[in-house]
Structures are given as structure tokens and as C-alpha cells.
Structure 1
Amino acid sequence: MPTEPLPELAVSFLPFATAALDFHRALNLPEAQAATSRGELDALHAHASALYGLIDSHTARTGPVARAEGDHLRACRIRLWQAADHFHDAFHTAPYTGGRLPAGEACRSRLPEGAPDLTICQRHLALAARVRRDHTPADLHDPVTGLTHH
């Protein structure tokens, strides 16, 4: 199934997304040493998942006409999946403030723990299905990701 081409808005969106990340880093991170909250991990997972989709669109456009560049974008896409997978794992190991421990099977069985748990698990399962369709297990575990040109 071919990926939809990027809308014209996507090119102008990138500087705004970068500025938003800079703003978040400058103003919203606590100075005191503290663990990242489940809500923040959910937001980081959302960013990695959205960036995966954006890079996927660029990969689909670039790969057929510029193989080396497409291979590098494909490697970026795989790394974004790996990052999203780690954010998801971190979310489920982060302290829960709701007074109960989350069930480890809740995500796998699609039984959410409540917001924002529902969003991260649903997003992660949807992205995982897309990743399994687009990549082989070897791709996902290869440290070089099979680049054809170095």
C-alpha cells in the first residue's frame, strides 16, 4: 500500500515542530532531578510515533528516485520505531501515581489502565502493526539496518 504524499503544509510544519521542542526543553523541564512522568513519556512516544510517520512519507517519496538517501531515511524510520518502543517500555515501568500497580498484560490485551495509558498503548499497537508490515525482524535488530551505501 503506497504512502500518501506529504501535504505542502508538512514542509512549513517542521520549523514550528522544532521550535516547540526547543520551547519544551527550555521552559517545561524541571530543574530538580526527578524521573520523567508517565504523561511526559506518553508525549515523547506521541512525538516519536508522529515523526516515524513523517519520515515514512519522506522515505516513500525519496527511495524510488534516490536509493542511498532513501536507505538512510529508512534507517531513521527504524531508529524512531526503536525509540518509540523504548518510550512505551519506560512508560510501563515508570511509577504509577494512581494508587495501584498497572497490570503488565493490560497493554498486550488492549485493556487500558486509563488515560493516558489508553492513548499510548493504542498508539503503540497501531505503530507496531505498521512497523511489522514495513520491516522484517532482521531490519529491526540490525545495528546497520542494511544500508546499501555507507
Structure 2
Amino acid sequence: MTSRTPPDDAHPYLRAASAGIRHHTRALTPSDAHPPRPADRLHLDVLHTHLTSLHQLLDRLADTTRPPHPGAGRHLATAHTLLWQATSEVHSAFHLLPSNTAAEAETGACHPERLPEGPPVLTICQRHLAAGHSIRRKTTPTDLRPHTTTCVR
């Protein structure tokens, strides 16, 4: 079975995103000139944005693939769940890193009750809670164990 579009033209935005991640990974590779740096909150926030976007894409792919190809759809649904677990761990790591500013330190904890009016640092929490609603509609709590959708801090 062949695709209708040549590989050069298929999914240009996904290819660009993948190329960006490869470039970033190479840039983080330690060398004599650049010693390794630990992740900071900004780095994890951007990574969390990418993971939640990929999470939404997998959700839609699983939904559209499942009717004509149930086996492939189940595998995509499993990938969707596993990606959620990875996204949740990145969110938890974000809250365990030290903040860069005093204002961020005071407001860095995740307080879902304050999200609509919260400071910009809580954007990751808003995004995470929105993605959590999506995963809870399609999975059972058993599927998500031992991971939870709550903040650790």
C-alpha cells in the first residue's frame, strides 16, 4: 500500500517539529565548549506544550483510526495514555525545579482553584488540567496508575 502524497510533502509541520526536537537534542549534547546544563522551568514548560499538543494529535488519530482499523486504533490509544503519563511527569518535574524569580517562587505551586486569574507561571497547570480532562474521558483510573492528574506541589 502506498501513500497518495510523496514523503517530501506529507505532514510538513510534524516533520518541522521533529527536526526542531532533533536540533534541540543535539544542542543539549555536552561538549568541551558547552558543559551540560540542567533543565529549567522555561525549558520544561515548552516541552510540556509540545507533549500536550502531541497528546491531542494522538487522541484524534486514535479516534479516526479505530473504526476502520481497530487493532491500530487500540495501539494509538495506548500511546495516547502513555504519552499522558510522560506529560504528567514533566509537569511534576516543573514544580520540583527552583523558580527563577521571587514572584514565581510565591506563586509556583499549582492551585487549580486560582487558575483563571492566576499568574503566568500557572499556564503549565492550566494546560495540564485541560489535557487531564481529555484523558479522563477516554481512560479509566486503572489505566493511569500509578500516575495521577494532580499537582505534586
Classify the TM-score, shorter chain. Answer: 0.7 to 0.9
Superposition deviation, residue 130 in structure 1: 1.2
Q: Give, as a single letter, the amino acid of the residue that structure 2 aligns with 1:135.
A: T
Give 5+ residue unaligned stretches, structure 2.
Answer: 1-8, 147-153
TM-score (norm 2): 0.75
Are 1:32 and 2:35 counterparts? yes
Taking a change above 3 Å as real, the CA distance of residues 17 and 104 of structure 1, as seen in their structure-2 partners, is: closer
Distance 1:10 1:51, change over 3 A: farther
Give the match for residue 45 of structure 1: 48
1:5-25 deviations in whole A, cap 9, x for unaligned? xxxx98332211111111222
RMSD: 2.5
- Whose relative contact order is higher, 1 or 2, with alpha carbons under 8 Å and at least 6 apart? 1
Q: Tell whether 2:102 aligns with 1:132.
A: no
2:60 aligns with: 57
1:78 to 78, 81, 102: 81
Number of residue-to-residue matches in the alignment: 133
Listed one character per residue, the Cα deviations across residues 92-121 of structure 1 (whole Å, up to 9, x for unaligned) are 110111136345754333347633x22201
- The aligned amino acid for 2:38 is A
Which residue identity is paired with 2:133?
A
In structure 2, the partner of 1:68 is 71
TM-score, normalised to structure 1's length?
A: 0.76
Paired AA for residue 19 in structure 2:
A
Partner residue in 1 for 2:149: none
Unaligned runs of 5+ in 1: 1-8, 143-150
Percent sequence identity is 35
Which residue type is aligned with residue 97 of structure 1?
Answer: N
Aligned to 1:23: 23
